[in-house]
Structure 1
């Protein structure tokens, strides 16, 4: 009888451990890396498969880069409990030594300047090792090998996380949009369609004609406190066109809204990249993106605006 009781207790403990373990949120995210070796795309590291022989084609792998990196975008901010990394088994496990796990909301230096959760001293060949991040908050999780030229290979990355109690909402998709002109069928609504596709021919980018002071405007229909504005730049052509654009926020429609206070000036956004600008609660109904002082095309493949749900 006691034997059966112990057996049932063990089964119950195993069941509860699976039932209440954290969810791997990595598989919901979007990924990028500094370069791609062969066909070892960054998505391989979140495919749910810990296969660690490189030739099983389940590992992400960069070229021999200086400061190679891999980035996971969780699409919203989470409290990160743990990050689990599976290392390559069939070759060179020491390459991961010294890699840093960084977590935060900045895309400066491709996200590699966010706070450090852990430094990986080593992971045995083919092993999966878990690093505690103790609730660090962030949208981006980077794994970077700083200070040397190296290959970065990740056969699986898993993230146990909880949503923030006060999550942020992208209010851009609720709004109405306008722009100074329209190039072809690149209507202003394309920039709030929820799709970050950045090849112009995919039909998900807004684009003006070659105007003097071209602008795009989002009307949120009422005043909000704007925490951040995230802009996705065009990938297939001319990413430098966005350089010098201003993000302006306010309640005035003077000069089509381009006279409102300035949140940020965009120095540059890499081709196809999404960059987030902090506006620190600036209040306004209108969010304008304008390129002042020159004749230019303005192309926006996605614009996202975050506010706290509690407002």
Structure 2
């Protein structure tokens, strides 16, 4: 790969005595990979012909033999779920760009094709929150290669504006004679990779999009205080609680699963709240669908009576069921929640875990009408 600080023209890449590639142009600060038939040699030369020239290179990387692919990890976009702003005809559907086929002839059925429209986009959902380090784009080769000029590669966890507001990591400039190009950038965490083409009356075509990532997950760039960017991870999970009310009638209304049914109705007898019996340190716990990075938890208090029962409750998140999950790290403590109201509790730090426990550190009855857990699954890339 070559990273340049000046716009270079007609730069020759020479392996031994053979010319293997010509670098027609590179954008400032850009990285490009040049692939060619295997050439044997000990020396790699970068030659800029002509007088009065200056040659500047910020990095040169060479792969050979068992490292022919310049990516240490697999393509995590292969076969993943894809979407796009529009589809001009059936054979140009979004999934074609992640089918593992790099054929660049649109008529062979392995490229996407949007309609002519303002700001077309294409998006792939990765298998989890991934630490993305590079994206390889294969452009259409049978015609119309210029259409991709100016397209933006964006990565993040938000679906606001269809994901087109996520972090900009690269801009696709004129590809010249290249059909496939790799864009490298500082590792960026995200679940979604978007190709976004700004402007009016545009058409977006992609023949393959490959995404490569490190295995390490770091949460620093994820949103913390805006629940609109996150999903309720507790919805219809698996819940359990320390006990049921001693009254069989009330016990039938107060099942653990009621607190994650998506219904915030705050009247116990409407069948959408949980309730324990009166006991020492009652608790309720949900097992999430995936281990997740949790940012906040929303609790809906009972509205028909007894709202003070929730005062002092603790929200804990982690992977342990020791002491019924009450030994896991503390997310937040409830001072009080008005009757029938929903309040959000932002964790003091990002907490990772599969279990969310709400408990009273005293004798009492625990009632909750809805528990919502906001965060992102942290399925490692390639899992």
**TM-score between both structures, scaled by the size of structure 2:** 0.48
Is residue 79 from structure 1 mapped to residue 79 from structure 2 by the alignment?
Answer: no
Shift of 1:86: 0.7
Is residue 139 from structure 1 mapped to residue 191 from structure 2 by the alignment?
Answer: yes
Is residue 92 from structure 1 mapped to residue 144 from structure 2 by the alignment?
Answer: yes
Is residue 56 from structure 1 mapped to residue 108 from structure 2 by the alignment?
Answer: yes
Shift of 1:119: 0.8
1:33 to 84, 90, 96: 84
**Which residue of the partner structure matches residue 102 of structure 1?**
154
Shift of 1:53: 0.8
What is the DSSP-based 3-state SS (H/G/I as helix, E as strand, rest coil) of the residue aligned with 1:25? coil
Q: Distance in 2 between matches of 1:104 and 1:49?
A: 25
Is residue 220 from structure 1 mapped to residue 267 from structure 2 by the alignment?
Answer: no
RCO higher in structure (CA 8 A, sep ≥6)? 1
Is residue 261 from structure 1 mapped to residue 343 from structure 2 by the alignment?
Answer: yes
Higher percent of residues as helix: 1
Question: Retained in 1: the 8 A contact 2:129–2:217?
Answer: no
- CA offsets per residue over residues 181-230 of structure 1, 9 Å max, x none? xxxxxxx98xx9xxxxxxxxxxxxx787xx799969994269x982279x
Give 1:1-311 correspondences, 5 Å limit: 13-18=64-69, 21-27=72-78, 29-39=80-90, 40-124=92-176, 127-165=179-217, 172=234, 175-176=238-239, 219-220=285-286, 226-227=294-295, 259-262=341-344, 281=350, 285=357, 288=370, 305-306=375-376
Question: Retained in 1: the 8 A contact 2:131–2:218?
Answer: no
Q: Distance in 2 between matches of 1:136 and 1:227?
A: 19
Shift of 1:101: 0.4
Shift of 1:120: 0.9
Shift of 1:46: 0.3
Structure 1: where are the runs of 5+ without partners?
1-6, 179-187, 193-205, 230-247, 265-277, 291-302
Alpha-carbon spacing, 1:91–1:15, altered in 2? closer, same or farther (3 Å) = same
What is the DSSP-based 3-state SS (H/G/I as helix, E as strand, rest coil) of the residue aligned with 2:162? helix
Shift of 1:37: 1.6
**TM-score between both structures, scaled by the size of structure 1:** 0.58
Alpha-carbon spacing, 1:251–1:225, altered in 2? closer, same or farther (3 Å) = farther
Higher percent of residues as strand: 1
What is the DSSP-based 3-state SS (H/G/I as helix, E as strand, rest coil) of the residue aligned with 1:149? coil
Rg larger in 1 or in 2?
A: 2
Shift of 1:305: 4.7
What is the DSSP-based 3-state SS (H/G/I as helix, E as strand, rest coil) of the residue aligned with 2:181? strand
Deviates more, 1:278-287 or 1:134-143: 278-287
Q: Distance in 1 between matches of 2:273 and 2:107?
A: 47
Shift of 1:144: 0.4
What is the DSSP-based 3-state SS (H/G/I as helix, E as strand, rest coil) of the residue aligned with 1:110? helix
Q: Distance in 2 between matches of 1:30 and 1:279?
A: 34
Q: CA RMSD in A?
A: 4.8
- CA offsets per residue over residues 253-306 of structure 1, 9 Å max, x none? x99x96452269xxxxxxxxxxxxx9974896369369xxxxxxxxxxxx8854
Structure 2: where are the runs of 5+ without partners?
1-39, 43-62, 223-231, 242-255, 275-283, 298-314, 316-330, 359-367
Q: Distance in 1 between matches of 2:143 and 2:273?
A: 51
